[in-house]
Amino acid sequence: MTKTPTNDDSLRFVCPQCQTWLKTSRSAAGSRHHCPCCHLAIEVPCEPSTSDRRDEYALHPEGTGPSVVQQATYIPVICHLCHTRMYATTDQVGTTMTCPDCGATTLVPPSPFRPPKIDVMAGADDDGYRLCDAALPPSPTPPPPTPEEQTPVSRKKKKKVSRRKPLPEHPFLSGTFSFPFSSGTLGVVIALLGWEAVVQWLLVINFQFRQSQDPRALFAAAMFGGIAGILGLGLLTYASACALAIVRDTANSADQIQEWPGLSFLEWLFAGLYLVGSFVMSLLPGCAVTGLLHKASPLATLALPVSAFVMFPLLLMSTLENGTPFGLISLPVYRTLWTSRKGWMAFYGLTAMLILDAVALTIVAYWIHPLAATVVAALVQVIGWFIYFRLLGRLGWYCADRSFRAAEAAENAEEEDDEDDA
């Protein structure tokens, strides 16, 4: 469809930012106006925009045509286990995605982008042009300051504001021992307690059947023992996945766990590789000490538990830093033994108290009744598990905060030196 151009006294041009067609009187050429669509200050050109838009218009179905840019919106999705970045479309919001690296399932969050809804044709006339507003006064360009005016205060750069969440005043005590009883964690603790109770009940039945010499009783003992083994493996792997979620989210300054492990055994097994591998490797120094000493020596008896107590957090933090269960050596983690030595001392001290209290409670419960010792042992294991890895996560947060503060102080000192030289 063609349209005969009008011979009025108007000047038509295009907004350089939002591409909206505008018109105003020719007498306004050279003045500055605001675009009514994007509010950009525009200088009206002396000549109209070179385009045949005033003479010819093309008709297209609604929602199509060259004037409509159709671009898919992609949502970034971060795997909560291996932190692989994936992308999903808006149609996949609310569904789950499978990580191509670790196989974990991650929920697709809503799109964080909210594009502004601007109707570029609102207020347009019959020709499809917008009217400019009143002319704006020209904005004078201030002259550059003279060397005498460039005082140290004017040359000083603005101090960078840290966006990191501040570390609690008592990072190893505040919200740590009450963590298993918080609203977002208590349900997982109860589930693990019930799971462990079933495994222990199957082991008790297995032990009772093994006391008999009847072949049928021995077959039943083997059957209950196999079921207990399968459920115990699932319990260990799921507890390992929960432990990794606690350490990672706590180290990233989260008060509550953002997302607990889903119902994926491969995800649990992948998390179990981190904990089991780190624990096995933490026993190697103790095995070496035991081999060098006499087996009846008290030092040889304590070598394995002490080795696991000292080396396990170091090895686990190294694997998480490297992003693989086989990365057992990380120089930044081992460097924190000196740069964040107070945090490591607090962690080891509180962990030792936690272990001693758990052993003392179990012994007292066994002295009262063996069945009470079983119940108390289950409670102590699950609750102590959550507290231990909460402490380890707070240690990671503490070390990261100290490293960040040291880097920030070095950067500020370098900027002050540059300002002094200037």
Q: Of 308 and 143, which is predicted with more confidence?
A: 308
How high is the pLDDT of residue 50? 58
Domain that includes residue 10, residue range: 1-61+120-135
> In whole angstroms, what is the distance from residue 251 CA to residue 240 CA?
16
pLDDT surpasses 50 at 57:
no
Q: Are residues 8 and 81 in the same domain?
A: no
Considering only CA atoms, which of 37, 351, 2, 31 is closest in space to residue 14?
37
Report yes or no on 221 lying in a domain: yes
How high is the pLDDT of residue 80? 65
How high is the pLDDT of residue 406? 84
Q: Are residues 27 and 88 in the same domain?
A: no
How high is the pLDDT of residue 156? 42
Per-residue pLDDT averaged across 157-180, rounded? 76
| Structural tokens at position 204 | 């008790």
pLDDT confidence bin for 63, thresholds 50/70/90: very low
How high is the pLDDT of residue 396? 92
Q: Are residues 83 and 230 in the same domain?
A: no
Q: Are residues 80 and 24 in the same domain?
A: no
Backbone torsions φ then ψ of 115, nearest 5 degrees = -65, 140
- What's the total number of domains in the chain? 3
Residue 108 · residue 93 · CB < 8 Å: yes
Report yes or no on 235 lying in a domain: yes
Give residue-wise pLDDT tens across range 319-337: 998 989 999 999 999 999 9
| Residue where the block lists tokens 């505040």 | 174
- Give residue 215's region: left, alpha or beta (phi > 0; psi -120 to 50): alpha
Report yes or no on 163 lying in a domain: no
Q: Are residues 260 and 391 in the same domain?
A: yes
> In whole angstroms, what is the distance from residue 385 CA to residue 380 CA?
8
Mean pLDDT of the chain: 78
- pLDDT-above-70 percentage for the chain: 75
pLDDT confidence bin for 155, thresholds 50/70/90: very low
pLDDT confidence bin for 148, thresholds 50/70/90: low
How high is the pLDDT of residue 91? 80
Considering only CA atoms, which of 54, 234, 39, 263 is closest in space to residue 132?
39
pLDDT surpasses 70 at 4:
no
| Residue where the block lists tokens 């207990």 | 228
Please measure the distance between the N-terminal and C-terminal CA atoms of the chain and give it in whole angstroms. Answer: 66
Per-residue pLDDT averaged across 367-384, rounded? 85
pLDDT confidence bin for 56, thresholds 50/70/90: very low
pLDDT surpasses 70 at 215:
yes
Q: Are residues 205 and 90 in the same domain?
A: no
Give residue-wise pLDDT tens across range 358-373: 889 888 888 888 777 7
pLDDT confidence bin for 188, thresholds 50/70/90: very high
pLDDT confidence bin for 145, thresholds 50/70/90: low
How high is the pLDDT of residue 245? 93
> In whole angstroms, what is the distance from residue 379 CA to residue 197 CA?
10
Q: Are residues 343 and 194 in the same domain?
A: yes
pLDDT confidence bin for 300, thresholds 50/70/90: confident
Report yes or no on 42 lying in a domain: yes
Say which amino acid occupies 415.
E
Q: Are residues 88 and 28 in the same domain?
A: no
- pLDDT-above-90 percentage for the chain: 32
Q: Of 196 and 83, which is predicted with more confidence?
A: 196
Considering only CA atoms, which of 117, 119, 124 is closest in space to residue 22?
124
How high is the pLDDT of residue 70? 45
Report yes or no on 362 lying in a domain: yes
How high is the pLDDT of residue 153? 41
pLDDT surpasses 60 at 2:
no
Report the 3 state secondary structure along the chain.
CECCCCCCCEEEEECCCCCCEEEEEHHHCCCEEECCCCCCEEECCCCCCCCCCCCECCCCCCCCCCCCCCCCCEEEEECCCCCCEEEEEHHHCCCEEECCCCCCEEECCCCCCCCCCCCCCCCCCCCCCEECCCCECCCCCCCCCCCCCCCHHHHCCCCCCCCCCCCCCCCCCCCCCCHHHCCCCHHHHHHHHHHHHHHHHHHHHHHHHHCCCCHHHHHHHHHHHHHHHHHHHHHHHHHHHHHHHHHHHHHCCCCCCCCCCCCCHHHHHHHHHHHHHHHHHHCHHHHHHHHHCCCCCHHHHHHHHHHHHHHHHHHHHHHHHHCCCCCCCCHHHHHHHHHCHHHHHHHHHHHHHHHHHHHHHHHHHHHHCHHHHHHHHHHHHHHHHHHHHHHHHHHHHHHHHHHHHHHHHHHHHHHHHHHHHC
Report yes or no on 228 lying in a domain: yes
pLDDT confidence bin for 167, thresholds 50/70/90: confident
Report yes or no on 144 lying in a domain: no
Q: Are residues 213 and 310 in the same domain?
A: yes
Report yes or no on 415 lying in a domain: no
Q: Are residues 88 and 234 in the same domain?
A: no
Q: Are residues 130 and 253 in the same domain?
A: no
pLDDT confidence bin for 36, thresholds 50/70/90: confident
Give residue-wise pLDDT tens across range 246-280: 999 998 888 889 889 988 889 899 999 999 999 99
Q: Are residues 265 and 347 in the same domain?
A: yes
| Residue where the block lists tokens 């962690």 | 347
Residue 2 · residue 55 · CB < 8 Å: yes
How high is the pLDDT of residue 64? 46
pLDDT confidence bin for 112, thresholds 50/70/90: low
Count of alpha carbons within 13 angstroms of residue 25, beta-carbon side: 5
